Amino acid sequence: MTKPLQLRREVRDADSAALIELITTCFAAYPGCLLDVDGEEPWLRAPATAYARASGRMWVAALGDSGGPVIACVGLKPASPALVELKSLYVHPAARRQGLGAELVSRARRAAAVRRPCTCGPTLGSPTRTGSTNGWATPDSTRPARYTTARGRSSTTTARQSRQR
C-alpha cells in the first residue's frame, strides 16, 4: 500500500478550522481537557497572522498535495530577545509513531538555528510521549521538559480548570 502524500508547508489563516479540529482531537486523549479557542487560544482564528505578528513561524503537515486535512503542526516564537520557543506541537493520533512530529521539530530547529538559541515548551504531549526534548534546552535544564498549555499552565491544571467550567 502506498503511503499518502503529506505536504509540509507554512500555516495559512485558512487552516484555522483544520487546526482547531486537530487540537480538539489531540485534547480528547485527556479527560476533561477542553479547547477554549475564543477564551484561551484566539490565535487559532487566524494562525498565520498571529504567528507573523509575534515574529514567529508555524508549519503544518497536510494529507494530499492541495489542502487536505491538517494532521500535524508545530510553531516557533521568540521567548525573549535571546531565545525562541517551540509551540503547538500536535500530531493527529492516527498519524503518530511515523516520525512526523520529529520531522516538524527538526524543521523548527533548523529555522531557529539561524535566529537564536532554542527552548522547549511544547503544548500537550502525546499520552505515549517518552519525555525526550529532541535536543532542545528546557527552561530549567536540571529537569525534563514539562508539557504545558500555550499559556504556560500544566496540562493537569488545564484539565482541572476545564472540569470546573
* CATH code assigned at 18: 3.40.630.30
Q: What is the pLDDT of residues 107-153, one digit of tens each?
A: 888 888 765 555 554 433 433 333 444 444 544 433 333 333 344 44
Q: Which residues contact 10 (CB under 8 A, 6 or more apart)?
A: 48, 57, 58, 59, 60
Amino acid 23: pLDDT: 96
Tell me if 1 is assigned to some domain.
Answer: no
| Mean of the per-residue pLDDT values of the chain | 74
* pLDDT score of 93 more than 90: yes
Tell me if 109 is assigned to some domain.
Answer: yes
Q: In this predicted model, which residue has the larger pLDDT, 78 or 127?
A: 78
Q: Which residues contact 83 (CB under 8 A, 6 or more apart)?
A: 116, 117, 118, 119
* pLDDT score of 95 more than 80: yes
Q: Which domain holds residue 160?
A: 6-164
Q: What is the pLDDT of residues 19-43, one digit of tens each?
A: 999 999 999 999 989 999 999 999 9
For 57, the 3-state DSSP assignment is strand
Tell me if 44 is assigned to some domain.
Answer: yes
Report the 10 Å Cβ neighbour count for 68.
15
Name residue, grid cell 495559512. Answer: 12
Total domains in the chain come to 1
Amino acid 65: pLDDT: 64
